Structure 1
Amino acid sequence: MFDVITVPVDGSDYGFEAADIAIEIAQKFGSKIAAVHVLEEFSFNSYDSEEDSGDEILAKITKKAGEVGVEVVEHLLTADPLRDMNFIIKQTGADLVVIHAHGANNHRFVSFEENDVSDTQIGSVSERLIRTCDVPVLLVK
């Protein structure tokens, strides 16, 4: 049913929640995971530190998936998540996208309580995917 499940991850607890669900689904359907971490084109941090951080994020997902026998293909890309996520998803060959409702770019989004975020709100990348993606999107809240 799902050969490739793409899960965009930003390093937040919310992103890892979505990855956990993607791994669970992949395990049930014998799917591969395409774990995607996007390095933003314009960042105040050094590229090397951003790349190292992205590698660590993807390695966590690969390790966790490997523990239950799920294959992961890591994708560390420089792009604009809002503009480019649909293209990235097409390139991964996704049959399903699993993404959390809220992103956490550079860990600015710490928690719902600290940021006065309602559980009915949705992040811009997730919202755009729901509206424009050609494959099913599972939104994790």
Structure 2
Amino acid sequence: MFDTIMVPVDGSKYSDKAIDYAIAIAEKFNSKIVAVHVLKEFSANSYDNEEDKGDDLLGKVTEKANNAGVSTIEHLITGDPLRDMATIVRKTRADLVIMHAFGSDTFDDDLNENQIGSVSERVIRTGNVPVLLIK
């Protein structure tokens, strides 16, 4: 049913939950996971540091998936998650996206169960594959 499951990762607890769901579904359907981390184009932080953090996040997904017997492909991309996610979904040839509903742990106090992040909303609105949002 699903050959390629894309899971965007950002290191948040929401992202970690999405990874767990992606692995469970990949096991069930014998799918591969495409783990994606997007480095922001314009950041005040050192690119090398951000790249190292991204590599570490993707490596953790691969390790966890491989331990479950799930094949993983890693993509570390420089861009704008809000602008580029639909293109990333298309280029990775994902037929399911599993992602967190929120973009960061930093706003926990301001979130309610009816909200989703701007990137998640954009993927739902502009994508042409099923999207499973994890809270």
Matched, 1:35 2:31: no
- The equivalent of 1:117 in structure 2 is 111
Identity in percent: 61
Deviations 1:18-72 (A, max 9, x none): 0110010000000000000000001010000000000000011000001010000
Tell me the distance in 1 between the aligned counterparts of 2:63 and 2:106. Answer: 24
Residue 33 of structure 1: SS of its match in structure 2? strand
Distance 2:39 2:122 in 1: 19
Q: How many positions carry a matched residue from both structures?
A: 135
CA RMSD of aligned residues (A): 0.9
Q: CA deviation at 1:8?
A: 0.5
State the 4+ residue runs in structure 1 displaced beyond 3 angstroms: none
Q: Distance in 2 between matches of 1:4 and 1:125?
A: 20
Report the equivalent of 2:78: 78
Who is 2:20 aligned against?
20
Per-residue deviation, residues 117-138 of structure 1 (Å, max 9, x unmatched): 1121110000011111100000
C-alpha separation between the residues in 2 aligned to 1:117 and 1:14? 12
Q: How far did residue 96 of structure 1 move?
A: 0.1
Q: In the TM superposition, what whole-angstrom CA distance separates every residue of 1:77-121 from its partner, at most 9, and x where no partner exists?
A: 0010000000001111101000110012xxxx33523xx211211
TM score, norm. by length of structure 1: 0.93
* Distance (Å, rounded) in 2 between the aligned partners of 1:103 and 1:3: 26
Structure 2: gaps of 5 or more residues? none
Partner amino acid, structure 1, of 2:71:
E
| Residues in 2 aligned to 1:13 and 1:122: alpha-carbon distance in whole angstroms | 15
3-state SS of the aligned residue for 1:88?
helix
Distance 1:100 1:23 in 2: 14
